[in-house]
Structure 1
């Protein structure tokens, strides 16, 4: 087999640019705290780019068109609006986080202190599974994308993606990831604004509408049952994902308190426009009967066929940038979570410099593990998101209740999460995937609030305020 060396060279050149930028931003990283949170003083501009670069994922660029291809207009709008609303809601949550746990670094700092060690270890296990799942979706997306447009064999494509991300994440942790993200998000937004209009300029809006009416009229319906199920189910998936993901908690702490709500709100609005625009490419495929070999490939396929070779290349740049930014953020999120919540407790005498080195080693280990898990293509990106959504839904309501209600009972949270995850996956495999997400959310909601009303807990908010300070004591 002859390898497309020119195409591989282009990807390597782009990756080298990301690595160089990551190394540059790493020069100011001198301790473990900066590796986890950077300077902790991000303003609106850099805060938005950091959020957008993480949240405009390979899922946004590939799974959003997949949802539009499967569920039509509702799928496209639902993916964009629910994800954007989740970010806006987390902005409100972030203000509360700054108030009650001002010196925390990770979601684990909150969860361990608020609900105790037993709940924390369960949360940590499921959070690690979730983050690894996110890393895998990006790895799969990178392989599929480079294979579809650049004809680079899947395994080589996955390897190139992870080597690039591991290298620049290793240098400076959060500071490198956030710094490189500034350039990545500019590439992503530029292409998202160019490629869809270019495609529709070539095919026309009216022919696309008429083609959908003729070939797939159900995709234009606002009352299609399957599409409405997706809308409600994915609202839980998106909100649970944001509220549970340590990457968002890192950014909540990294962004200045006085602008955190504004930054998250603007990011949510800006993000919504990207998946809606990119998802509209799937309408062209539906209208003209184009069927990709893999449903993940519908957007790059349409960009290449109807936008021309240049549009295909531009789309590649944007999506690969999105994949790299999200993979880097997820690897950094998991490695720093383990570094802050596990390594620091195992080696209690470790200095900040030693913890920093642990963080770098963990970045490499997590990245390589994610690479290996990405090699077999088990699920599509949208399927993986929904599968992980059962876990997200189980933790959504305990996290919210624990932040505002001192009577939230830790025992109720433990019972709710175990029951919700169990019931959710049982429904997922026996009834339907989205039904499993909805079932998990409802069980978690009823048990968290129901048991806490019957047997109220008691919690002193001062314990959270002491986390991360010299007088914090044991966070049990």
Structure 2
């Protein structure tokens, strides 16, 4: 029984619609112009050709671990990461923010093992689906293509809907207009620069994300009049627990890890997290884009860094929102947020508006926009790679230039469709919370077969195919039965409630693994990886890159338009004339033994990290029914802030440090061109 007044009211809009439209259109235009300029500089002063299919889809497989880490954090920081973690913490207490972090971090950690295996056994691949096709043939290829496209639709829908709902709540901008403007604006800069563009814009997004995260942490815990310290927040939460205790929590408290609903949320989050990583081509694309010797390091750092975002942000925003419900500045005062407002992700915006007024509303608007655009850009590249290489490419293989053109068209078409798809979901009353819970139900049956495709030589094509199909059938049946038995009827709303979601995702994951394992025991494969390691020879863009067919009177000549390596010490350069630059170095042969050692290190790292954050820390606190004392809560908050500061170092400082020489060369070369001086032949490696 809630002690708050019964009733609802509309969310108070602190900003005008023009602010919402200005952010969506203005930021999209800024990033597009930024990438066009940066791509021009890259093409002129580095060895990476932006018009190369290899560069467009894989960033020439040259990305360093710091930028991979930043890209992982940026791509995995969805609208849901910020909004859903806050909403769950608002409802269930501080355990939800921790479990949201666990539910996304362990997948990235274990995916580091997969990344090492991809480099070891399929370094020439661009998409996971190419690996599946080479190993299993067309039935599994078609099956996994369906799952990857479903994942792209679920992820894109949650990104766009979550951001549009926040913009609408804070500014009044039309949701449908935002649904279309967001993906179209993102598509412009993705087309301009390809995968490397998403990494570079990811970096800018991540810098802004951490700045705003630090703003809220220090504002709420340090200088806010309404809260001002972790101790004051703890005091307010004790009052909140008396007004509206949490069912299933120890003493109804918001400051305890003993939360039945929190454990349920953990299960749903892990299911959603595993499916969101293993079934998302964007993560495979990032693993492929890095150097073989640094892939796993990037994913390890990414997993550690990302954990800080939902833990720190969800804790500060979710608990602050709960503590400030009785504050007269609260956007729905004197009423609490309605269930639909919570599901739409308006907990964090409510806390931000109460704490910092218009400035807080602008900050939450920007951070949500950055999260949505960053992850959506990765989805656009992922979908373009799937369509051009695994759908069109199967029937009409494309050379380098045609591949880039086809990718551009695919990105443009999917961006428009993403707006239409998000509008369809909105009209069906499907929101961010619905997609978050249902994602695990739809996609977890493919997780184990996909992982074993690159991890185990024993999985056969029959195990991969029938394990996925059987798991899907069990998951859907469990989903419907669970919804009917627990909530009384099957409806759109009930299908996305926590018990319905876990009733579908758990059987899907478990039964898929059991069927796959059973087939491996009865009739194991003994795959030699020859076909997957040969993908580089058959599917590489390099042999076709820059080759032009010229037909004259009765003869056909093939002219390679690739530029020769410069021979002089200096080159005269201008923006009107081509500038010669060093060609990319030939790929060094892979050291399989070194990659196997990397795989073992990744396995130890991921297992240790999973053990600590999933078992050693939360389970004793849960089992003991411990109620956080004021002092213990202050330490808990301090640890989340320290982890966030360390994560910022990995994501913001490390990429700059790793690329300091290349950045200096590019800056020096650009300055010389603008000043009319000569450009030395050294270029960024």
TM-score normalised by structure 2 residue count? 0.66
Query: What does residue 361 of structure 2 align with?
Result: 312
Per the TM alignment, residue 471 of structure 1 is displaced from its structure 2 partner at its CA by 8.7
1:417 aligns with 2:453: no
Higher helix share: 1
Structure 1 CA distance for aligned equivalents of residues 257 and 308 of structure 2: 20
Structure 1 CA distance for aligned equivalents of residues 39 and 88 of structure 2: 37
Q: Per-residue displacement from partner, 1:175-207 (whole Å, max 9, x unpaired)?
A: 222221111110111111211432344323233
Whether the 8 Å contact between 1:72 and 1:283 is mirrored in structure 2 is yes
Per the TM alignment, residue 104 of structure 1 is displaced from its structure 2 partner at its CA by 0.8
Question: 1:217-366 to 2 correspondence within 5 Å?
Answer: 217=246, 218=249, 219-280=254-315, 281-289=317-325, 290-291=336-337, 294-295=341-342, 296-348=345-397, 350-366=398-414
How many positions carry a matched residue from both structures?
Answer: 470
1:468 aligns with 2:536: yes
Structure 2 CA distance for aligned equivalents of residues 471 and 343 of structure 1: 14
Structure 1 CA distance for aligned equivalents of residues 264 and 410 of structure 2: 39
- Residue 24 of structure 1, aligned match among 23, 37, 58: 37
Query: What does residue 210 of structure 1 align with?
Result: 238
Structure 1 CA distance for aligned equivalents of residues 169 and 283 of structure 2: 31
Query: What does residue 84 of structure 1 align with?
Result: 105
Per the TM alignment, residue 10 of structure 1 is displaced from its structure 2 partner at its CA by 4.2
Whether the 8 Å contact between 1:427 and 1:433 is mirrored in structure 2 is no
Query: What does residue 422 of structure 2 align with?
Result: 374
Query: What does residue 164 of structure 1 align with?
Result: 185
The runs of 4+ residues in structure 1 deviating greater than 6 Å are none
Per the TM alignment, residue 86 of structure 1 is displaced from its structure 2 partner at its CA by 1.4
Matched residue of 2:60: which SS? coil
Per the TM alignment, residue 62 of structure 1 is displaced from its structure 2 partner at its CA by 1.2
Structure 2 CA distance for aligned equivalents of residues 355 and 424 of structure 1: 37
Q: Which moved more, 1:229-238 or 1:324-333?
A: 229-238
Q: Which moved more, 1:282-291 or 1:437-446?
A: 282-291
**Unaligned ranges ≥5, structure 2:** 1-14, 44-49, 326-335, 483-499, 541-685
Cα pair distance change 1:103/1:200, threshold 3 Å: same
Structure 1 CA distance for aligned equivalents of residues 99 and 128 of structure 2: 27
Structure 1 CA distance for aligned equivalents of residues 369 and 179 of structure 2: 11
1:67 aligns with 2:88: yes
Structure 2 CA distance for aligned equivalents of residues 471 and 34 of structure 1: 14
Per the TM alignment, residue 282 of structure 1 is displaced from its structure 2 partner at its CA by 1.4
1:135 aligns with 2:156: yes
RMSD of aligned residue pairs (Cα, Å):
2.0
Per the TM alignment, residue 310 of structure 1 is displaced from its structure 2 partner at its CA by 0.8
**Unaligned ranges ≥5, structure 1:** none
1:15 aligns with 2:36: no
